[in-house]
Amino acid sequence: MAVADTGTLEISNLAPSHGLAPDVEEWIVDGLTEALPALRMRSLFTLRRDMLRDADLITLAVETPRRSVVGALSSRWCTTPAGGGFLHIMTQFVGERRQGDGIAFAGTWGRHIEGIYESTSEFPELWVLKTFNPIVYCAMRGFTRVPDVAFYPDIYAERQDPRIVRTAERVAAIAAPGHTFVPSTGIIRGAGEPADLYPWLPESRDEKVNDYFAATTLPGDRMLCMLSIPTPEAAETILRMFGLTPTTPQVRLARSMLGDPAPAPAGRRDGE
């Protein structure tokens, strides 16, 4: 387990390929429940232990010397019908006392990206999460400052690219099967358990985003947020943002194989 020390906070990765030990699982759940007293975290983990048990990678923020978990980020690879894959972020939490300093949030993301890249030597082309939290939406959309990176649903775009909307429909069918997906808004109806996890809709510093969530979501709904990183140059920029060095001259991308195929050159027919 690699550990980064950021003062009173340790950031570490767990790769539970053979399952989490029961005492480790309870330590994570107890820490997050204590760190987020306003949320129904105990009910969440009664219903959704898969957020931990099915993860390929879990990144923890642990306060020292109490050894209490105050942040967690977990993800797993989802396979697509064409044989590609995308990264599904299953949980992202930072304790109330740590939400203002940014250390736990940036630290868990940086360590998580490092763990994924080191274990696969590839950078995911597509990052997906479901959220009820406008703050998480804003954090994900912040990656669009990197050239070539696209985000869905981008409420600031004059027009959402129809290709990324179609990709979102395909992703939703894999990440939230059995739930109604609304492509025009990004909302997955009833995908959140428990429906009353949040006692109120969280607020970000962006009023337009807050208003969008208020207008489109109901308790229990989740917004599908999707980050497309289609070029090696964009992937390298993100790696370097977190102080990571690419291991190859050109970053290799793990493709989702979910996008629309590129059109054939003019004057050619299918099969030529």
Amino acid type, 115: G
Residue 63 lies in a domain: yes
Domain identity same for 70 and 141: no
Domain identity same for 119 and 59: yes
Domain identity same for 20 and 109: yes
For residue 17, what pLDDT is reported?
A: 76
> For 64, how many CA atoms within 13 A lie in the half-sphere containing its CB?
10
76 neighbors 89 (Cβ within 8 angstroms)? no
Residue 209 token pair? 């985003």
CATH number at residue 75: 3.40.630.30
For residue 5, what pLDDT is reported?
A: 47
More confident call, 100 vs 137 = 137
| Cis, peptide link before residue 65, omega less than 30° from 0 | yes
Domain identity same for 116 and 133: no
Residue 264 lies in a domain: no
Q: How far apart are the first and last CA of the chain?
A: 51
More confident call, 18 vs 104 = 104
Compute the distance between CA of residue 144 and CA of residue 154 in angstroms, rounded to an integer: 10
pLDDT > 80? residue 267: no
For residue 8, what pLDDT is reported?
A: 85
Domain that holds residue 52: 1-124
The domain boundary, picked from 98, 124, 150, lies at: 124
Domain identity same for 159 and 116: no
Domain identity same for 5 and 102: yes
For residue 3, what pLDDT is reported?
A: 52
At residue 260 the predicted structure's pLDDT band, cuts being 50, 70 and 90, is: low
- In three-state secondary structure terms, 261 is coil
Domain identity same for 99 and 215: no
Domain identity same for 2 and 120: yes
Q: E strands of the chain, at which residues?
A: 3-5, 9-14, 57-63, 68-79, 85-94, 123-124, 126-131, 150-152, 181-182, 187-188, 222-228, 253-254
Q: Which tens digit of pLDDT belongs to each residue from 2-41?
A: 555 455 899 999 988 777 899 999 999 999 999 999 999 9
Structural domains of the chain, count: 2
Domain identity same for 14 and 106: yes
pTM, two decimal places: 0.89
Tell me the average pLDDT of the chain: 90
Residue 238 lies in a domain: no
